[in-house]
Amino acid sequence: MAVNMKWAVGAAAAAVVAAGAFFFVGGATAAPDTTFVLLDGSKKSTADLKGKVTLVNFWATSCVTCVAEMPKMISTFNEYHGKGYEHMAVAMSYDPPSYVVNYAQTRKLPFEVAIDNTGAVAKAWGEVQLTPTSYLVNKKGEIVKRYVGEPNFAELHALIEKLLAES
């Protein structure tokens, strides 16, 4: 049994490394062409994000780390939004939509929240399964950084400032 557990942990670690390599071999890679369905039923595409620095944040209401990092995500959005920064919070397919709506309303999330009902968005962004997983996308629509788990917010802020300064 212990051998099987070690194998499973090793396989999971390899999958995380492989997913990271998928996006970052050779530098920034174009963000996948996806459509986000927002809580109000409207849609946004990856193309709509071009021209802005955007954090695409995969999360779930049942994810303790996601809930813990959300005030910092709100603070980051509030600090940089006026300078061309966006945040797209993508709720995972297993998260009940009513929970997501309730969370977004009661926490007064200031950024856009999408629900990935089918899991297609998470799949397109590198088979996202672990939450939180976030992708920082530059103005050209390229993924420049992937965070699995809560980001180091000082590092994230420095990178956002650098990307906002680029033309």
Terminal Cα-to-Cα distance of the chain (whole angstroms): 55
Question: For 88-136, what is each residue's pLDDT tens digit?
Answer: 999 999 999 999 999 999 999 999 999 999 999 999 999 999 999 999 9
| Tokens (6 digits) for 144 | 């420049």
Distance CA(159)–CA(100), nearest Å, equals: 28
For residues 33 and 120, the answer to whether their CB atoms sit within 8 Å is no
C-alpha closest to that of 109 among 69, 62, 154, 155:
69
Q: In the CATH hierarchy, which fold is given to the domain comprising 28-165?
A: Glutaredoxin (3.40.30)
Q: Is 40 exposed, middle or buried (0-12, 13-18, 19+ CB in 10 A)?
A: exposed
Question: For 34-67, what is each residue's pLDDT tens digit?
Answer: 999 999 999 999 999 999 999 999 999 999 999 9
Instruction: Name the CA dihedral angle for 149, 101, 71, 118, rounded to a multiple of 10 degrees.
Output: 20
Supply the pTM of this predicted model: 0.83
